[in-house]
Amino acid sequence: MLINTDYLVVGAGASGLAFADALVTETAAEVTVIDRRDVAGGHWMDAYPFVRLHTPSAYYGVGSLALGEDRVDQLGENAGFYERATGDEVFGYFIEAASRLTETGRCRVLTGHEYLGCGSDGEQIRDLSTGELHVVAVRRKVVDARYLEASIPATHTVPFEVAPRAQLVPVNALPAAARSDCSYAVLGSGKTAADACIWLLDNGVPPDRIRWIRPREAWFYDRRHFQPLEQVGAIMEGNSLDAEAGANATDVDDLFERLEASGRLVRIDPAWPATMYRGTMLSARELTALRQIGDVVRLGRVRRLEVERIVLERGETKTDTDVMHVDCTAAGLNNAPATPIFQPGRIVLQQVRHLSPCFNAALIGYVEAHRDDDVEKNRLCPPNPYASSIEDWPRMMSRTWRTEGRWLREADVSAWATQSRLNLLRALPDHASEPAVQIAVKRYLTHVTAAIDRLKQLDRSS
């Protein structure tokens, strides 16, 4: 079968769908989105059962379809904050988003199809249910929406040896495997490990029966700084704290001390230096819960899990058959290096503004629709890889601020961003007269130029 299309988008995760949605909204182009998974939505299909968005639903997904109802939760750990969809809700949302794209008549979503690359007669894809090969004749561009494919517990390869009979459970299986008569060792430093610990605590496991094997200490944002709409002033306050810390930092350690002192970032145990920064967040209640876990093993990454012993990079520790080890070591965000987003015949979706994967994919779709020259498109959308450590923060923030400055000078891009539901700051103009917002905007404007200069000096990648 020969398929003709203007754009072939490889990957029907959040990025591929948000890009396709923007392109279909802004142009008359025909778009084909393919994914080797059986349904659209990317990694959410295989998410662990108790996952939720860590950011509010209000600015997640695709531009043309709301996720949730912008409710403020009244109860539970998210009380006072905007609702965050569960994994199942995100999964259902993307199926609907894909179906709506198909209903436009200009977008074909082929799930269960794998992209094989470019052959002599066009782009090659394989129907995974029949094994049939198809050729796709692409009139404009192939869009790589899998360059930053997420690494998740359900599909990653466990990065250490596991001896026969050692008890290792993937985090996805934790609710089904959990027993009242055992202890737990949670393996991993990031948000998934934190979620697993909180799930155990919420399900009545006493803190002294949880051991946390934490190779790195991580920084987390305070979730209150990511609340949009009526609480958008808190986002602006967070940005202004970033700018102030960036402008005054003498080095990277000093930078993080400033961010912590201002309440922008938190770490679980302030007695230990934290080197990991992934841009994830915790609420105050989650932080208090996690601080109850006192048995933390800080001997680096696990090398080998045995029945009675865990061998780590910098030593070993005892374990036993009554301990259920929970694997939370998948990387989550993909650390692929930056490559130009707009290339001849090709678009490689990546991050541009920090912490905004859906917004970035939609923005790239908008810029593709409204600019002709790849040099100009790349100027408006320079790649900005996900951060992994504190050393990445200066590059990530200075690139974000420089790029946002360029958008502000382009009237149409600025107008698009202001109305995009994926823009966490979209409600800022409506709240500009509030005293707290004015203070935050003033602090931000006072410091941002100096912060860009200072952070460029602290950026070891440049």
Task: Return residues touching ligand FAD (CB under 6 A).
Answer: 10-16, 34-37, 42-43, 47, 51, 53-55, 60, 114-115, 145-146, 148-150, 152, 332-333, 357
Q: Cβ of 262: how many Cβ atoms within 10 Å?
A: 15
Let me know: does 394 contact 458? Beta carbons within 8 Å. Answer: yes
Residue 94, token pair as written in the block? 């993307």
Kindly tell me which of 109 and 380 has the beta carbon lying closer to ligand FAD: 109
Q: Kindly state the smallest distance separating residue 333's Cβ from ligand FAD, in Å.
A: 6
Q: Give dist(CA 26, CA 28) in Å, integer.
A: 7
Q: Kindly state the smallest distance separating residue 351's Cβ from ligand FAD, in Å.
A: 9
Kindly tell me which of 42 and 170 has the beta carbon lying closer to ligand FAD: 42
Kindly tell me which of 51 and 97 has the beta carbon lying closer to ligand FAD: 51
Beta-carbon-side half-sphere exposure of residue 425 (alpha carbons within 13 Å): 21
Longest dimension (CA), the chain: 64
Q: Give dist(CA 126, CA 131) in Å, integer.
A: 6
Q: Kindly state the smallest distance separating residue 364's Cβ from ligand FAD, in Å.
A: 12
Q: Is 221 buried (19+), middle (13-18) or exposed (0-12) by CB count in 10 A? A: buried
Q: Kindly state the smallest distance separating residue 432's Cβ from ligand FAD, in Å.
A: 25
Kindly tell me which of 156 and 456 has the beta carbon lying closer to ligand FAD: 156
Phi, psi dihedral angles at 31 (to 5 degrees): -125, 135
Which residues, 6 or more positions from 420, have their beta carbon under 8 angstroms from its beta carbon? 63, 359, 362, 363, 426
Q: Is 42 left (phi over 0), alpha (psi -120 to 50) or beta?
A: left
Q: Give dist(CA 213, CA 318) in Å, integer.
A: 12
Kindly tell me which of 42 and 385 has the beta carbon lying closer to ligand FAD: 42
Kindly tell me which of 60 and 220 has the beta carbon lying closer to ligand FAD: 60
Q: Kindly state the smallest distance separating residue 322's Cβ from ligand FAD, in Å.
A: 29
- Asked whether the CA dihedral 314, 318, 320, 324 is positive or negative, the reply is negative
Which residues, 6 or more positions from 285, have their beta carbon under 8 angstroms from its beta carbon? 77
* Residue 447 CA, distance from chain mean position: 27
Kindly tell me which of 115 and 366 has the beta carbon lying closer to ligand FAD: 115
Phi, psi dihedral angles at 35 (to 5 degrees): -155, 140
Q: Kindly state the smallest distance separating residue 60's Cβ from ligand FAD, in Å.
A: 5
Q: Give dist(CA 193, CA 216) in Å, integer.
A: 12
Kindly tell me which of 61 and 215 has the beta carbon lying closer to ligand FAD: 61
Residue 66, token pair as written in the block? 């709301």
Q: Kindly state the smallest distance separating residue 391's Cβ from ligand FAD, in Å.
A: 21
Kindly tell me which of 16 and 394 has the beta carbon lying closer to ligand FAD: 16
Query: Edge-to-edge strand order for the sheet containing 315-318?
Result: 161-162, 302-305, 309-312, 315-318
Q: Kindly state the smallest distance separating residue 14's Cβ from ligand FAD, in Å.
A: 4
Kindly tell me which of 24 and 53 has the beta carbon lying closer to ligand FAD: 53
Phi, psi dihedral angles at 108 (to 5 degrees): -110, 130
Q: Give dist(CA 256, CA 258) in Å, integer.
A: 5
Kindly tell me which of 258 and 278 has the beta carbon lying closer to ligand FAD: 278
Q: Kindly state the smallest distance separating residue 197's Cβ from ligand FAD, in Å.
A: 15
Residue 441, token pair as written in the block? 């905007």
Residue 177 DSSP code: H
Q: Give dist(CA 31, CA 145) in Å, integer.
A: 13
Q: Kindly state the smallest distance separating residue 281's Cβ from ligand FAD, in Å.
A: 9
Q: Kindly state the smallest distance separating residue 210's Cβ from ligand FAD, in Å.
A: 20
